[in-house]
Structure 1
Amino acid sequence: MNRPAIRVEDIAPISHREGMALAETEYQRFADVLAQLQPGDWTVQTVCTAWNVKQLIAHVVGFAESNASFRVLVSGIRHGKRRAAEKGYDQVVHGMNEVQVEEREHLAAAELVRRWSQTWPKALAGRKRFPPFLRHVPFDFGPPIGKKPMGSYLMDVMYTRDTWMHRIDLCRAVRLDPALTAEHDGRLIADMVAEWARVHDLAFTLHLDGPAGGTFVSGAGGDELTIDAVEWIWIISGRGTGTGLLSKELPL
């Protein structure tokens, strides 16, 4: 049975409470993927061209450890800013990512898995108790997203999106089928559709196939597109190439 079309403006923003529930599910699903990796998988190249599987996981673990400890978060931002300035990166987050991976390069695969299992509950707790006085402080994500609040955007939404996208990266790199449900992955996808429409002021009818999909309408008289839900975000996140609507990026 076809699902009814959803107007983009009717997609409610992810609240703090809902965001933490989505984060908990996503962290557990990432752990489930790590449990399925075989010894030979860790050196497989991912779509993130600078990283193999082990390095990508080091990055995700690094962000979790920064969520678990405010001291680690502040240190990561400070070192990330320095690295971004040294390398001429246009976004601080690129410097942060690079430093995170370098600092964990020496860890064995088993240690990264252990650290993830021990850290993600603490990361979730850290995101829940992120200082209220910092929630409205803007963080610059660069174009086309721009500056967004650290609380309602970075802590409540983006860290979960980042983990979700890297779970997809891992699954595609080592040929695993990712767990996908309408309640979890579909909610994350819908939120991304809404932001994509807002950021680029798009008019479209978007038919996203698969368990995480749905039909979304923005504006009037726009293009109509049918594509798999995961493939849609794969392309607009810059992991693939597209034309027309699919050339409008939403970086992840």
Structure 2
Amino acid sequence: MTGNQQTARIDVSSIARIDHDEAMRITAVENRKFGDVMTALSPDQWSTQTECTLWDVRAMAAHLVGSAASQASPREFLRQKRGGKPICTELGSPFWWDGMNELQVREREASTTAQLIDEWSTASAAALKSRTKMPRLIAGLKLLNLPEPVGRQPLSYLFDIGFTRDVWAHRIDIAHATATEPDHDADHDGRILADIVAEWASTHGEPFRLILDGPAGGSFVQGTGGDEIHLSVVDFVRTLAERTTADGVLRHTLPL
């Protein structure tokens, strides 16, 4: 029996969701962890293909660097959004963020590894400062129309924890692509995971028992009966983020 199987089951309805103040503390840690990943990558690993079919590891890092720059400045966010519009048409995507993400990558194609690492350090710190100070009235505006099952959400959905989840999920993508273990711990990564499980469970409402292996994992339950699932944290996140597919309750995805 693994350590996760020995831990008490957590009823997902009891999981307190991450609020703004906690999200900013989590973001500071996640920024550091992603910076450590970038610094540790070998030259060969930078060019490794990821499960995001358009991106290798370098492109994925460039996206996150560019995303941080957009979070630090409303003007830069709008510039990237406008600049990504024709790329959406090129990609055949109905989602404005797909063009914006690709713009972030293309604008950094000539950046060296050292330049990407330096820009991450600067941009992520500026993004955290900007997100921390975002007025709550603005954060509460329901301006986001995201794919189902998320739907319409306030800006805080992205600017509190959503952008940090993106970094976290891509850190898992990079670990999977490079066949390395992600730097996961119960306090930080486990908290992000529990929040994701709570939201995911609320979107579909089906009963399940979920055992996730790894330092960030745990045992989660919703209702009685339903599917019993046992897999790694990495594979759970890959499934929710549609890097792979599954049946049963795991057919329900969540944008990460």
State the TM-score, normalizing by the size of structure 1: 0.94
CA contact (8 A) 1:91 1:140 kept: no
- How far the C-alpha of 1:114 sits from its partner, in A, is 1.1
Deviation at 1:79, TM superposition (A): 2.7
Q: Distance in 2 between matches of 1:221 and 1:41?
A: 43
Correspondence for 1:154: 158
Instruction: Tell me the C-alpha RMSD between the 2 structures.
Output: 1.6
Residue identity matched to 1:200: H
Partner residue, 1:89: 93
The reply to whether residue 238 of structure 1 matches residue 242 of structure 2 is yes
CA drift at 1:85: 4.9
Per-residue deviation at 1:33? 0.6
Q: What is residue 66 of structure 1 aligned with on the other side? A: 70
Query: 1:166 Cα deviation (Å)?
Result: 0.7
Partner secondary structure for residue 99 of structure 2: helix
Residues 98-124 of structure 1: per-residue CA shift (max 9 Å, x gap):
111111112122211111122221111
Alignment match of 2:34 (pick from 3, 27, 30): 30
The answer for unaligned runs of 5 or more in structure 2 is none
Residue 250 (structure 1) aligned with residue 254 (structure 2): yes
Whether contact under 8 Å (1:236, 1:242) holds in the other structure is no
Distance (Å, rounded) in 2 between the aligned partners of 1:169 and 1:3: 27
Structure 1 unaligned blocks of 5 or more: none
Q: How does 1:220-235 map onto structure 2 within 5 Å?
A: 220-235=224-239
- Number of equivalent positions: 251
The aligned residue for residue 171 of structure 2 is 167
State the 1:128 CA deviation.
Answer: 0.5
Structure 2 counterparts to residues 90-105 of structure 1, below 5 A = 90-105=94-109
Measure how far apart 1:81 and its partner are: 4.1
Alignment-mate amino acid for residue 164 of structure 1: W
Query: Within 5 A, what are the aligned runs for 1:1-252?
Result: 2-85=6-89, 87-137=91-141, 138-151=143-156, 153-252=157-256
The one-letter amino acid of 2:29's match is T
CA distance in 1, matches of 2:119, 2:34: 13
Identity %: 42
Matches of 2:91 and 2:217 in 1, distance apart?
39
How far the C-alpha of 1:82 sits from its partner, in A, is 4.7
After superposing the two structures, state which structure 1 stretch, 63-72 or 12-21, moved more: 63-72
Detail structure 1 runs of 4+ shifted over 3 Å in the superposition. 80-83, 85-88
Query: TM-score normalized by structure 2?
Result: 0.92
